[in-house]
Every structure is written in C-alpha cells, then in structure tokens.
A = this chain, B = another copy of it.
Amino acid sequence: MKEKGLLIVLSGPSGVGKGTVRKEIFSHPDTAFEYSISMTTRAPREGEVNGVDYFFKSREEFEALIKEEKLLEYAEFVGNYYGTPVDYVRETLEEGKDVFLEIEVQGARQVRKKFPDGLFIFLAPPSLSELKNRIVTRGTETEDVILNRMTVAKEEIEMMNLYDYVVENDEIERACERIKAIVVAEHCRRERVEPRYIKMLEVE
C-alpha cells in the first residue's frame, strides 16, 4: 500500500537548455528524485558513458524495443532514435520514488497520454519574454526578422498548452530552484495529501 512516486517531465523547445538544467539539478546532493536515463541510437560523444548519459543501443535493438512496447515514449531526430525505457519508470514509481524525465516536446505528448497525472514542466526560452522589447525596438530590426521571431514565439506558446507549469530558463540556477519548488509544492497538493489522511482513519 506504498504511495506511488511522482512522474516529473521536463521538456521545452529544442535548444532551450533542458539538458543543462537537468544536469544542474542532479548535481545537487539534495535532489530527491531519480533520473530516468534515455536510450539512443546515436553514437556516444566524447566523455559520454553508457548507462550514465544514455543507454546506447543499435538501431535493431531500439526497433525491437519499440515493437515490444518497452518504451514510454520515443522520437527520431536527424536519423537517430531517442526514447525512455518504460520498465525503469514504472518500477521506480511503484517503489514510491519520484522519476524525472528530460525529453523532447513530441515525447512529452506521448507521456501525457499514458501518465495524465504526471507533473509536466515546460522550460521556456528567455527570448520569449524579450519579445515585447524586440517589437518595441522594431526600428532596429527588419520586418522579416520580427515576423520570423513572432512565428517561432507563437509555436512555442502553443506548445505550452499541455503543461502544468512554465519555467523560464533565464538563469540556470534560478530555473533549477523553481523546478525543485514545483516538485515540493506538488507533494503538498491537497488532492495528494488528503487521501493519505483519510486512509489512516480507515485503518480500524
């Protein structure tokens, strides 16, 4: 009758700095959640260790796992697969531990369907907040640059829709603090805490 852990999903537009923020979070000794290591078919980069940075797999191995439904989510980028092994996530949550995923936006969409109760955090580029300034100072930029920036911003804002929280990556340390605060707060949500107390009363 152990309480299940919380599934925490960090995502956001590519290039926003998800990996950097995730590394920073897990460099803190007081971080109380488990990182789910992704699986990929891309070759390890210098210094990357199998089972630490990624689980490195061949294309055949990866496609077999897709068929066996062993991936919580996966996506293909520039010819390489990236995905999340589902067994680790389920087992760790069952143990009552929080699991942290850092994944692409498409992956987050797949996870939302399977874990609607997960905690979905969107990491937003600071450029989004600068949008207004950019428009105001339009004299200094060409129409094309502004229009392009507006289109990208619209797409980024539309992506947010799926998420519970939005954290701006204005400064890595601040973004990490906010993400950790969100996890602490989520554990205090009444809907989560109340049933625990009610269950206590039902013991007899």
Give the B-binding residues of A (Cβ under 8 A).
121-122, 124, 128-129, 131-132, 135-136, 150, 153-154, 157, 160-161, 163-167, 177-178, 180-182, 184-186, 188-190, 193-194, 197-198, 200-201, 203-204
A182 vs B180: C-alpha distance in the bound complex, in angstroms?
A: 10
Taking a contact as CB atoms under 8 Å apart, the answer to whether B204 and A190 are in contact is: no
A160 vs chain B, min Cβ distance (A)? 5
List the B side residues contacting A194 at CB < 8 Å.
Answer: 157, 160-161, 166
Contact among B121, B122, B177, B190 for A164, CB-based, below 8 A: B190
Taking a contact as CB atoms under 8 Å apart, the answer to whether B167 and A188 are in contact is: yes
Taking a contact as CB atoms under 8 Å apart, the answer to whether A198 and B157 are in contact is: yes
List the B side residues contacting A197 at CB < 8 Å.
Answer: 124, 128, 131, 153, 157, 160
Residue of B nearest to A182 (CB): B185
Given contact pairs A184-B178, A184-B181, A189 touches B201 in the complex (Cβ within 8 A): no
Known A128-B200, A181-B184; 17 more pairs at CB < 8 Å = A122-B190, A135-B200, A136-B203, A157-B201, A160-B190, A166-B189, A166-B194, A167-B188, A177-B184, A178-B188, A181-B181, A181-B182, A181-B185, A181-B188, A182-B184, A182-B185, A185-B186
A71 vs B160: C-alpha distance in the bound complex, in angstroms?
A: 39
A201 vs B151: C-alpha distance in the bound complex, in angstroms?
A: 10
A188 vs B189: C-alpha distance in the bound complex, in angstroms?
A: 15
List the B side residues contacting A189 at CB < 8 Å.
Answer: 164-166
